[in-house]
Amino acid sequence: MKINSITLENYRNIKELSVDFDDVNIIWGENAQGKTNLLEAIYLFSGAKSFRGAKDKELVKFDCDYAKMKLDFFANGREQTAEISIKDRKTVTLNGIKKRSSTELGDEIKTIIFSPDHLNMIKEGPNERRKFIDGALCQIKSNYRTLLKNYSRTLVQRNSLLRNAESVDEVAPMLEVWDVNLANLGAKIIYQRIMYLKAIKPYLKSIFEGISGGKEDIELVYIGADTYTDDVNDIEQRLYNKIKSHRKIDVLNHTTTKGPHRDDIEIMINGRSVKSFGSQGQQRSSVLALKLAEASLLREMTGENPIALLDDVMSELDEKRQDYILNHIKDLQIFITCCDKETVLRLKKGKTFHIANGALSEG
Closest contact distance (angstroms) between CB of 73 and ligand ADP is 22
Q: Is 35 annotated as a binding residue?
A: yes
Torsion (CA) 118, 31, 63, 46 in degrees, nearest 10: -30
33 binds ligand ADP (CB under 6 A): yes
- Dist. CA 341–CA 30, nearest whole Å: 10
36 binds Mg ion (CB under 5 A): yes
13 binds ligand ADP (CB under 6 A): yes
- CA dihedral sign, ordered 240, 241, 242, 244: positive
From its phi and psi, is residue 216 left (phi > 0), alpha (psi between -120 and 50) or beta?
A: beta
Q: Is 16 annotated as a binding residue?
A: no
34 binds ligand ADP (CB under 6 A): yes
Closest contact distance (angstroms) between CB of 337 and Mg ion is 6
Using an 8 Å Cβ cutoff, are 294 and 112 in contact? yes
Task: Give the burial class of 139: count Cβ atoms within 10 A of its Cβ; 0-12 exposed, 13-18 middle, 19 or more buried.
Answer: buried
**Residue 259: closest CA among 180, 141, 176:** 180
Three-state SS at 283: helix
- Dist. CA 46–CA 305, nearest whole Å: 13
Closest contact distance (angstroms) between CB of 72 and ligand ADP is 22
- Dist. CA 263–CA 220, nearest whole Å: 13
Residue of 5, 32, 79, 170 that binds ligand ADP (CB under 6 A) = 32
Q: Is 30 annotated as a binding residue?
A: yes
116 vs 125 by CB, closer to ligand ADP: 116
Please list the residues that pair with 351 across neighbouring strands.
25
37 binds Mg ion (CB under 5 A): no
Chain residue at closest Cβ approach to Mg ion: 36
**Residue 329: closest CA among 14, 21, 24, 16:** 24
Residues 53-82 within binding reach of ligand ADP (CB under 6 A): 58, 60-62
Residue 197 binds which one of Mg ion, ligand ADP, none, with CB within 5 to 8 A depending on kind?
A: none
Q: Is 47 annotated as a binding residue?
A: no
12 binds ligand ADP (CB under 6 A): yes
Closest contact distance (angstroms) between CB of 153 and Mg ion is 38
- Dist. CA 9–CA 7, nearest whole Å: 7
35 binds ligand ADP (CB under 6 A): yes
Closest contact distance (angstroms) between CB of 60 and ligand ADP is 6
Residue 62 binds which one of ligand ADP, Mg ion, none, with CB within 5 to 8 A depending on kind?
A: ligand ADP
- Dist. CA 330–CA 238, nearest whole Å: 41
Residue 33 binds which one of ligand ADP, Mg ion, none, with CB within 5 to 8 A depending on kind?
A: ligand ADP
Q: Is 29 annotated as a binding residue?
A: yes
* Part of the chain binding ligand ADP (CB under 6 A), chosen from 31-39, 141-149, 187-195, 324-332: 31-39
Positions at the binding site for ATP? 29-36
**Which residues of the chain form contacts with Mg ion (CB under 5 A)?**
35-36
**Which residues of the chain form contacts with ligand ADP (CB under 6 A)?**
12-13, 29, 31-37, 58, 60-62
